[in-house]
A and B are shown apart, each in its own frame.
Chain A
């Protein structure tokens, strides 16, 4: 047990809460447990409970989290050729630990890690970590999704496996966040309870647009309703193409009074999703990216009727390590304790012994420092590292068991474990991965990456844009002596495949470097000269896809009769099974759009269904005419609100009811009560009724029509007298 007592305050706090007792002992139920199968404690009571009522009983307590361990990007290559991104060390602790720490804080009780590349390493890491053992606040399970090449694939995989039972937290394996989650979750659940269509809540951290942890390449503009925080528009910022403007659909101004356009969010892709989200990914197989495809797709689709909300966080830390630039920024934030309680000295790993010293210096036990070396502020030094005379280290992270020679200068660099740096070397703003050797008097320029076990000879200058690796892959290459020197070992890494496929390549490379060139981002309009034709083209392409699919539905069966039949059946079903009104309305409007039907037909179908229902109630002697009409129309009348708009509609509507009533028993009294009821509900206005009665020739088209209207004059009399009474008051 000793090992687990070294956890963070957050973790300890969590463990001491009554909640964690339940969470820790919760089982994974009948699901297949990958590597973490050793973590199955007593299966019994709770498995039964889960089987019996997976959703209702413990909706409030249980929270699933999906961790996407893969980023489906290549920004960290060549480092990620050998290690998955989520296991790269940030301040000497693998990134995944920060994610788990956040999930523990958030009160998650079940974590599913989706592995793709390097799945074996991740599984092994999780199996050996403290999260897989009993004191862990959540159960953990790894799911392999080796085929997936995007977030969308992973989601579709999850949907197919049926692992998601309730609303879940979706995060990537590379976030650092200390946002308390109860409020976010409560808000989300409240919204969900009110509106089933609120399928997703994005957690967005407010910051300045030029904040260092805001990834340049992946930031976006969010347009939110100011009152509800409903997201109505999402637009990714294209830095390379000098995006000049964003375009908003005028439709949104009719639906929302005040819209906030925000360019100051850090979006770490922390989302609470309903189970609809994976299902929607399955339905739309071309959705890949969670933001630019999914969010954008949902927001631009009228048919789906789903809504996405944002939760704005103003005073906690949230960041995602998604590029080298953000790696640098987040490391600095962790060192300067913005992420408290997640800091190096909280010793997230069992064997860590960091202690905090003034000036944001963190040292582990067992460090050998020569008398004349200087460790300046904002530095982390791991155990077993030896620093020799005259060396100066400033604002850097040094891993474990490193050997740093004499008179070395290290500034803003990230040096991982077992690195050897020989005398008089200079390292600035670079990443030196495990086992690398930097020869004496060599100079690693800002922005360079020296991957695992690369050896650099003495007196070599490594340029800032170089990425050196020893990983060969399938290629057969000779040691690149120009780059690493005669006695060196390693190759210059070139990301060739990417360049061909992705036209954003340049943007990504340029903006994901460790050292970000601010000149690159031009905030003013002055140099904007090209309108992003490509962007427009892309949009139209996407749109075309969706319309095409609509057309196919429409062409399958477009005649009016089939619409009437289906719509009527849809309403009848809604009434019989007592659906939600909104759902029934949505179903109708979907049907209407799919079949390209007129509102007239929608009204006809709805009336047929509802009057049929009323007539059924009367004929079966369940209720008297008036009660039957009221019971049905009070419940379902509001459907007409979305079908009847102006006076002409109302008159058409009245004629339809009248016609329908001619074929019913007690048609005249149904008609009378229906008019009365709908008048009370303000669906029919006096004027329309009067016009219909006195002026419309169709009303008296044939004998049936006249007969069914026999009771109406009395009601009209009442209406006019009532009117006069209220007038004379």
Chain B
């Protein structure tokens, strides 16, 4: 296989309070398997021989531990080489930094996607692109009605019509805030007279790129101009072009295909939208995480719960999944739920549509509806929770009634403050987490917006557009 994969493991800011330094997003279980497993399995199916997993320094230990002890030991054939690399920085510079490790064309993946889209499709699409296409990105449209729409926040993606044989990415903007107009460049419209602005496309963060994209550099005559201009702006030189979120790097390459007077032979970025018959989820929010769990449940043509788990008279629906070593008392029923390993459920508990992680203890008569329960949580008798997210190791008191709340420990609050800082810090320097990406996009795009606002003043912040 002439591809290598890069899997970027972010901190998962949107998944708080489920993630912690000990449990990074990549290891958060989906249907009792860590998220990273699905990404790795996807690479395996694609027949890749080499995968680089990139994580921030804080998450390195648990992730390498999982790969050596968990993942590798599970695999029968050891054909795929998995390597963990620590890199704290913008996603763009991460990719650039892997220049020495990447010898082939590469597939860039997030760690948090769940899909039934076969990897071969993605690879084939890239192979069939015209020569000018240096890379292909995958976008998807949310097909789940139950997903919390507010957490999706799609950008405005400008591209040539999807009905074209080879749709092309032209530009990406974050949604303009109220009263801010979106400015579409005429130069783009002359080069690409048919452009579409999509408001519903979500970035899958799966990109297939040619190796030569990494060589975009100072020495490269083609892109020298961009870098020169960028460095004038920030005064930083080469690293500037790459020192931003990967999405922005892709956007810049895409923009480059039309913002010059001689754009005809420029590299372009192709795009592919996941067709409706396939599902695609990125676990970037708690709601998406829940949906991803359900999707896996649906896909795995009902797994009978391991017999070790069942106890006298407990009813476990065939639409549920229960981990090893879990014990359930009488009259407890579990529907459409995922229960981790080593849990203890009391009598007459009712669970429906829940994700329960490992080592959770439920008292008697606990009702849980559409909840996510973190590792080692204790829920005392007769508590009723609907749509709640409970942080790991939290203790829910007897007869608590809550709806749509996030329950996190007081004791952990102090910890959280520091961990927040930790996250922020991490955000600034690294990772492909979307929130941060968007922040950055905002910044860049606002510059774009400002630029056009001024009358008669040449405020070309972006500087991409005024060049000889």
Contacts and interface: CB of A to CB of B under 8 A. Distances in A.
B194 A260 contact: yes
A61 to B, nearest CB: 36
A526 B261 contact: yes
Given A248-B181, A261-B197, A526 B468 contact: yes
A256 B195 contact: no
A208 interface: yes
A503 interface: no
A292 interface: no
A257 B141 CA distance: 11
Interface stretch (A530-538, A546-554, A639-647): A530-538
Chain B interface residue bracket vs A: 35 or more
Contacts of A208: 193
B175 A525 contact: no
A254 B199 CA distance: 8
A253 B197 contact: yes
Contacts of B369: 727
A416 B16 CA distance: 80
Contacts of A144: none
Given A245-B186, A250-B177, A529-B466, A263 B452 contact: no
Contacts of A256: 199
B67 interface: no
Interface string B435-468: 0000000000000000010111110000001111
A533 B454 CA distance: 9
Given A209-B193, A250-B176, A531-B457, A257 B200 contact: yes
B189 A263 contact: yes
- The residue in B177, B196, B197 that gathers the most chain A C-beta atoms within 10 A of its C-beta is B197
B261 A531 contact: no
A243 to B, nearest CB: 5
Interface string A236-265: 010000011111111001101111111110
A237 B186 contact: yes
Contacts of A529: 458, 466
Contact of B182 (A209, A248, A258): A248
A247 B181 contact: yes
B162 to A, nearest CB: 8
Contacts of A536: 455
A165 B14 CA distance: 60
Nearest to B189: A263
Contacts of B183: 245-248
A257 B186 contact: no
Nearest to A257: B200
Nearest to B197: A259
Q: How large is the interface on A (under 10, 10 to 19, 20 to 34, 35 or more residues)?
A: 35 or more
Given A263-B193, A264-B193, A525-B465, A245 B175 contact: no
Contacts of A523: 186-187, 190-191, 261
A244 B186 contact: yes
Contacts of B175: 250, 253
A243 B186 contact: yes
Given A246-B183, A246-B184, A531 B456 contact: yes
Contacts of B179: 250
A248 B158 CA distance: 13
B186 A247 contact: no
B337 to A, nearest CB: 15
Nearest to B260: A524
B1 interface: no
A712 to B, nearest CB: 22
B456 A261 contact: no
Contacts of B45: none
B465 A528 contact: yes
A243 B187 CA distance: 9
B202 interface: no
A261 B158 CA distance: 9
A262 B190 CA distance: 10
Contact of B184 (A248, A264, A528, A530): A248
B430 to A, nearest CB: 31
Contacts of A244: 185-187, 452
Interface in B155-179: 156, 158, 161, 175-179
Interface in B191-224: 191, 193-200
A531 B193 CA distance: 22
Contacts of A245: 183-186, 452
Contacts of B190: 209, 263, 523-524
Interface in A635-679: none
A221 interface: yes
B180 interface: yes
B178 A258 contact: no
Contacts of A525: 185-187, 259, 261, 465-466
Contact of A531 (B189, B198, B454): B454
Contact of A253 (B194, B196, B199): B199
Nearest to A259: B197
A524 B187 contact: yes
Contacts of A243: 186
A248 B452 CA distance: 12
B348 to A, nearest CB: 12
Nearest to B367: A727
Given A259-B197, A260-B195, A221 B467 contact: no
Given A244-B186, A523-B187, A249 B181 contact: yes
Nearest to A208: B193
Of A208, A257, A530, most buried by chain B (CB within 10 Å of CB) is A257
A544 to B, nearest CB: 16
A526 B467 contact: yes
A533 B457 CA distance: 10
B180 A250 contact: yes
A369 to B, nearest CB: 44
Interface string A509-549: 00000000000000111101111010010000000000000
Contacts of A727: 369
Interface in A246-305: 246-250, 253-254, 256-264
A495 interface: no
A257 B157 CA distance: 11
A258 B186 contact: no
A566 interface: no
A463 interface: no
A261 B466 contact: no
A208 to B, nearest CB: 7
A226 interface: yes
B189 A221 contact: yes
Contacts of B156: 253
Contacts of A248: 181-184, 197
A531 B199 contact: no
Contacts of B260: 524, 526
B74 to A, nearest CB: 38
A260 B431 CA distance: 33
B467 A258 contact: no
B455 A259 contact: no
B46 to A, nearest CB: 30
A714 B180 CA distance: 50
A260 B184 contact: no
A525 B468 CA distance: 10
A126 B181 CA distance: 49
Given A247-B182, A525-B187, A257 B198 contact: yes
A247 B452 contact: yes
A697 to B, nearest CB: 22
Given A246-B184, A260-B195, A525-B465, 5 more contacts: A209-B190, A245-B185, A245-B186, A533-B456, A536-B455
7 contacts: A209-B193, A244-B186, A246-B183, A260-B197, A261-B184, A524-B187, A524-B190
Closest 8 CB pairs of A and B: A524-B261, A264-B193, A523-B190, A263-B193, A263-B189, A247-B181, A525-B187, A250-B176
Interface of A: 208-209, 221, 223, 226, 237, 243-250, 253-254, 256-264, 523-526, 528-531, 533, 536, 727
Interface of B: 156, 158, 161, 175-187, 189-191, 193-200, 259-261, 369, 452, 454-458, 465-468
